[in-house]
Structure 1
Amino acid sequence: MTPSVGSAGNKLFHPFQFEDVVELNVGGKLMTTLLNTLRHEPDSMLAAMFSGRHVISKDKDGRYFVDCDGEVFTYILDYLCFGKLKSQEKAVDVYDLAKYLQVMSLAEKLETYHSVKYRNQIAEPKTQFEDVVELNVDGKLMTTLLETLRKEPDSMLAAMFSGRQVVSKDKDGRYFVDFDGEVFKFILDYLRFGKLPPQEMALDVFDLAKYLQIVSLAKKLEIFHSVKYRNQIAKLRKLVESKGYQKVKEKAINAIEKSNVGPQENKVLHFFCSYGHCCCIPNMDRCETPGDFTTSVNILIDIESTYLTEDMMALLAHELCKLGFAKYTVTRTVNNHCKKCRSDKEIKQIKLLTH
């Protein structure tokens, strides 16, 4: 039996789908670019934002909103598109934004500019931090050492607490960090002690570690089953999305809903193709439906079984679990014998177990 991804304390993963052409509202400046451009530097915060793992706010016209200076952001886009800078006049501003967005190749090139070198030599920190830092992480209060937050020097977290940026405070003077506090505490435990999260939290911590650019933690979490499994599911989706998978999924869900099956009842989906021979449609009278499903509800779905690949079966079983139709699944392919015409037909099955 294969457990579904997600359990209590571990949020289900719902990938966010982007079009190939992305419309943006960057600080009020409207622009359009390719999704591949935004993902050009895979380790950047920008690539993480548009990876599909995070939901991004939209303006009233449906454009994705990015809270940056639009004029400066155009330099970032030009660099990602063409690998070139338009001019030196905004080098310092572009450098600061590139550092914030973790577009490190651009930041490194800009460090050779005189204006950036000079500013870095004389710049005073924007925020002075105490050695002990009090945090409000989305309502969860915690305290840690400044050196803990800076432990991974190339991370977004280290940049936030570098002193070069202003970090917002709550009404009690604690630095406010807008992440899930229950997940962030595992980030802190790793930075403090090198401790990895429990298996049930691995997926959530992996996503936040990637977003915060804590690369060493993300690499260690890639060996966890839930992370590997989620990555495999993402690969499966790419393989089958152009092969009629959505129609198969819709047909399965419609069949379940029409059968008026209760959410706590086990269900067995039988995928078959009658090829016009109604006698070969499996039922209790004419066919030997393999397996003991006496405590389950049998749902028959007539479909071109040749198009229902093993990859589709695996992905469909996973997504039906995510949608709450089951907690566990069993998939298999069997031969069904028609007692009337004596023919054997292949039937694919997904058994949905609710407990």
Structure 2
Amino acid sequence: MDSARPRQSDNQIGLNVGGKIYLTTRDTLTRYPNSFFAIMLDSDIPSDRDAQGNYLIDRDGEIFRHVLNFMRCGKVVLPRGFSEFDLLEQEADFFSLEALEVALRKEGAGMSVAGMSVGIAVGTGDTRSTYMITREALMREKESFFTDMLDGGKPFPRDTQGNYVISRNNSLFHHVADYLVRGGILNDITSSELRQLRKEAEYFGLQILEQHIQSVEFMMKHLNTQQARVLHIHFFYSENGPCVAYHNKLLHRSRFNIETLWKGHKIGGISVYAGKVDPKIMCKFTSASSVMQFFENQFVASGNLHRRLDVKMFELSSNCARIDVHIIL
């Protein structure tokens, strides 16, 4: 019976959250009218209490202090080095604190938590693998599956550790993760895997990754005896991320050494090389004529004056461009 409990003041409320006791006020708990607490306090449905009269709530007692501080302050207040954002988002969802969810998403888009990792469990059953990827990397493309996942526009399933669960091909997702983190297709891949990866890129709404796939496929197809003297290079320039280039293997011997520009490594059998490019080089490529002038200078320096050069530039997004360079040596 209520009369058997120690009486709390009309405004003072005790909460027993996972065994941890919090004392707060009715005003704080009802600050957000549609929240779990407002409904709990205004409802006629009886709530479980402990022997001291505190409301019993079976949630994480340690993380709850951040939920309570948000209700007290009206903003996210977190200690330096805090990393349990996924867990805190889960608690915000459980307690129907939409304002906290929105605040955490804004924090997630800012520099304060951009480097924090998000857990993603990909696959089904025993073949599932977990990847830890920063929010900043997941938001590489602004209108993708992952930005929808992080902005909370629709619910996404989670496992018991709070990782987002994605039932897709686990054997290919490491290429998707590599693109998000390092900016390109930088691991060994076959032509059949490329075709499957294109389907994954379409599913995840990664349109620029599809452009990378197209470039690697192009390099794979352009290795034959007639093309042996042609060097194809596709540069991908990003203002806010890594710059990557792909090129085919040049069978014709030439004094022009592409490795003076960047170090590529094989990713597609014997015909395709990929690697990161120094942004100091890429920032010089402001137009087709500037690219041509750059390579003209490289040819002169290498003593290779007999060549034909073609350059095309494509704007892929507001901060990403592809530059195609074809050189006949």
Normalising by structure 1, report the TM-score: 0.35
Normalising by structure 2, report the TM-score: 0.38
Q: Greater share of strand residues, 1 or 2?
A: 2
